[in-house]
Amino acid sequence: MTTDVPLQGADLDAAVLEDDHSRVFHSWSAQAHLPSFVVAGGSGSHLWNHAGDTWLDFSSQLVNVNIGYQHPAVVAAIQQQAATLTTISPATANKSRAEAAGRILAHLPASFTKIFFTNAGADANENAIRMARLHTGRDKVVSLYRSYHGNTGSAIVATGDWRRVPNEYSRGHVHVFGPYLYRSEFWATTPEEESARALRHLERVIQSEGVASVAAIVLETVPGTAGILTPPPGYLSGVRALADRYGIVLICDEVMAGFGRTGSWFAFEQFDLVPDLVTFAKGVNSGYVPAGGVAISAPIAATFDEQVFPGGLTYSGHPLAMAAIVATIDAMEAEGVVENAAAVGSEVIGPILQDFAATIPVVGEVRGSGVFWAIELVEDRVSREPLPAQKMAAIKQLCLERGLIPFLAENRVHVVPPCVITADEARAGLEILRGVLSDIGE
């Protein structure tokens, strides 16, 4: 911004865009086609630009702002920590780090005893895979095609979607199809068939790869970016049984699904299993300061009592991030944020989306829980042909014009507002979405 006269409003938004596009290299983007969306501030479930346009956020940015924008207790905790100690090496003992680990462990089964802190979800998965390989003495990692685990060496190769293909530099990764009844790979017609056949497929791949070579099964408890694919009954408990049968470490990636998103502290609580390692990030402090980590069960933690764990990060357990974690979890407990997410999901979002499925022709299926839902959009309900990209782009534009920030992935709209969204805010956002989808379907 080269002018000496302070810019305001729409002029400031335009200047920010110009400077951003000329200087910033954006992720997952062709640099000649960048976004034109400027954010100046936010509060709760709302954002605004410098011109004063406001939006209700149904995206939580990248499904991470679980506690909403500018929560005063979390902001104050970061400020207080900054005034006390801004940074310290992970080799030291630090009060904020120990307290953050304790807050997280308090919401996990008793089998978990230690937390390894990372900077984000990708390096959480990276280090969980490393732990599993060292603990078992095996090499191979099995994960799902419909998944996303992060943009680092092993995490991106564990990922199943298109982003894996230009980044396949890590060894020993094998992929399988998980359950997805709406577009079944297994010719299933019921959830029970889908679960049983997906488990049989997983077991045969493990056997074919060599049971003694498989270190870990890595899966998002509820695959997020891939479509919020809530597992059918019996699937996750069946994966747990296979991991036990063959001595494989089970890693649940809760980076997106954890900390209230599905209506419970961790998504795996809603299913009959306890994993060996849990990776987390995003909602642990709503992204106020970058943080992630691995929750480690006692047997795996004991592996490294005398054996050096060959991994670490300069900013592991950064004091500002730890203070944000402590304040976030304390606020979520005190304010019933997880309970709110569960109630809004079951009483407002779920019923209204079911009405979408019954009344809006482009809606093929809705699925989810808490504040973690997907609307699968189709050209034709019989053929289930996905809604094309140009129509998805039109949905995004119409939502923004009408005051709603959507989260779009392929032919889906994900309804993923902050966990603090009120019932009235959820209804208002869904009515905007109803109008947009109805207009697109005409």
Is residue 282 a contact partner of residue 120, using CB atoms and an 8 Å limit?
no
pLDDT of residue 34: 86
The CATH class that applies to domain 72-335 reads alpha beta
Q: Which of 91, 140, 367, 127 is nearest to 255 (CA)?
A: 127
**What are phi and psi for residue 426, nearest 5 degrees?**
-60, -45
Summarize the confidence of residues 370-390 as an average pLDDT: 97
- 4 has pLDDT over 90: no
- What is the per-residue pLDDT across 329-361, written as a single tens digit (0 to 9) for each? 999 999 999 999 999 999 999 999 999 999 999
Q: No. of H helices and E strands in the chain?
A: 14, 15
Please answer whether residues 368 and 374 qualify as being in contact, where contact means their C-beta atoms are separated by less than 8 angstroms.
Answer: yes
343: left (phi over 0), alpha (psi -120 to 50) or beta: alpha
Decide which of 34 and 198 is more confident: 198
> Residue 414: beta bridge partners?
374, 407
- Give me the mean pLDDT over the 4-19 stretch: 89
The pLDDT value recorded for residue 28 is 87
Distance CA 277, CA 200 (A): 23
Q: Judge whether 254 and 280 are in contact, CB under 8 Å.
A: yes
Would you tell me how many other CB atoms lie within 10 Å of the CB of residue 200?
Answer: 12
Query: Average of pLDDT values for 93-98?
Result: 97
Would you call 250 helix, strand, or coil by DSSP? strand
Please state at what angle helix 423-441 crosses helix 389-401, rounded to 10 degrees: 140
Tokens describing residue 162? 């298109």
Report the distance separating Cα 118 and Cα 59, nearest Å: 24
- Helix (H) / strand (E) containing 367: strand 363-369
Residue 442 has pLDDT above 90, yes or no: no
pTM comes to: 0.96
Model confidence at 2: pLDDT above 70: no
Q: Domain spans of the chain?
A: 39-70+337-441, 72-335
Nearest-angstrom CA–CA distance, 222 and 231: 7
Query: From CA 184, how far away is CA 329, in angstroms rounded?
Result: 38
**Parallel, antiparallel, or unpaired for β 41-43 and 46-48?**
antiparallel
How much is the pLDDT for 261?
A: 98
* CA distances for 75 relative to 65, 211, 261, 322, angstroms: 13, 49, 21, 12
Sole residue written with tokens 């920030």: 405
**How many Cβ atoms from other residues are within 10 Å of residue 160's Cβ?**
22
Looking only at the bridges linking them, the beta strands covering 54-57 and 277-280 are unpaired
Alpha carbons 40 and 284: distance in angstroms, whole number: 24
Fold of 39-70+337-441: Aspartate Aminotransferase, domain 1 (3.90.1150)
Across the chain, mean pLDDT equals: 96
Long-range CB pairs of 108-113 (<8 Å, 24+ gap) are 108/266, 108/278, 108/295, 109/274, 111/274, 111/297, 111/298, 112/278, 112/295, 112/296, 112/297, 112/298, 113/296, 113/297, 113/298, 113/301
Rounded distance between C-alpha atoms, residue 273 and residue 242, angstroms: 12
User: What 3-state class would DSSP assign to 312?
Assistant: coil
CB-based burial, 380-419: b 16+ in 10 Å, e otherwise: eeeeeebbeeeebeebbebbbebebbbbbbebbbbbbbbb
Please report the pLDDT score of residue 219 as a whole number.
98
**Amino acid present at 408:** L
Percent of the chain residues topping a pLDDT of 90:
95
Q: With contact defined as beta carbons under 8 Å apart, do 328 and 320 qualify?
A: no
Which residues are CB-neighbours of 250 under 8 A, at least 6 positions away? 216, 217, 239, 240, 243, 273, 275, 276, 277
Secondary structure element (H or E) that encloses residue 53, with its range: none
pLDDT digits 0-9 by tens, 106-124: 999 999 999 999 999 999 9
